[in-house]
A and B are shown apart, each in its own frame.
Chain A
Amino acid sequence: MIYQVIDKLDNIVQFDSAKAHCDIPCGIYDPITAQIAALTVVRMMDLMKNLEENAPDTGIEFNNSMSRYVAVKEEHAEKAKHEIRVIWGDYIKEQHLEGFPELNGLVHKIMQLGSKCRQTANREHGLQFVDAINQFAEIFWKTKNVAVKKAIAPYAPALEVVYPDL
């Protein structure tokens, strides 16, 4: 009753509004983008190695393919870092850090590994990058009380990925 009266008054006098603001788009955070980007990094490392082993020449076609693989590796390593930074910076709150005190260290590790993946073509760095981002994904879903499952991604490089078990 009181609400209806004030609502009618609002239609006439237009009360000020206060934003109970959520991030935009509200609540849409998902580490899967970072996970796929990290898988792409390993895939590019594999393609680079394969090209070197099977087309060991320095012709224009070789250089063209190798340049493309390197460019995609660079792009996706940075993309994965960016996605993690956004979730860490915008979604992760003090209570999450209290619940998962290892999280800041893990994010720092991901940043470092992402840089190593850009600087080198060492597959081991790529695997560590995927693994660290999977750990981040597991914590992320736990903060939302969503169970997770681990499964092999159904595409090359066919590595284990943490998924929400919906």
Chain B
Amino acid sequence: MVKIIKIAGESLNPLYGDGDFVLVTKIPFILKRIKSGDIVVFNNSSYGTMIKRVDKYDKNNGELWVSGTHPDSVDSLEIGPVFTEDLLGKVVLHIRKPG
């Protein structure tokens, strides 16, 4: 229900950096729907567990379009939409790496 995840990589830089921790949970999906701008963690068959920002949520088809904030980040143009069943959760707490 609640997981701590460590971030690897810089595609969400400068908002989230390599080595930061985030707390993710599926509970907000029930309390509050996913919306653009949310940061989500999901499974991808090619890249494994990924963390990205939601650009668009198509609730009719259960698809999210995601991207990083870094200009060179891999995004949904490359990996396709994320399906809601692949979501591990939405970030509810960000613990930034000091320094």
- Chain A interface (Cβ < 8 Å from any Cβ of B): 2-4, 6-7, 9-10, 15-23, 26-27, 29, 90-91, 93-94, 143-144
Q: Is the CB of B68 within 8 A of A20?
A: yes
Q: Is the CB of A22 within 8 A of B21?
A: no
* Shortest Cβ distance from residue A92 to the other chain B in the assembled complex, whole angstroms: 9
Q: Is the CB of B72 within 8 A of A27?
A: yes
With a cutoff of 8 Å between Cβ atoms, the chain A residues found around residue B4 in the complex are 6, 9-10, 15
Q: Is the CB of A19 within 8 A of B51?
A: yes
Q: Is the CB of B72 within 8 A of A18?
A: no
B side interface size, CB within 8 A: 37
How many A-B pairs with Cβ below 8 Å? 97
11 of the cross-chain contacts (CB-CB < 8 Å) are A3-B21, A3-B96, A15-B21, A17-B49, A19-B11, A20-B8, A20-B9, A22-B70, A23-B74, A27-B71, A27-B72
Q: Is the CB of B8 within 8 A of A18?
A: yes
Interface of A, secondary structure class, is mixed
CA distance A15 to B88 in the complex (A): 14
Partner of A19, one of B8, B13, B71: B8
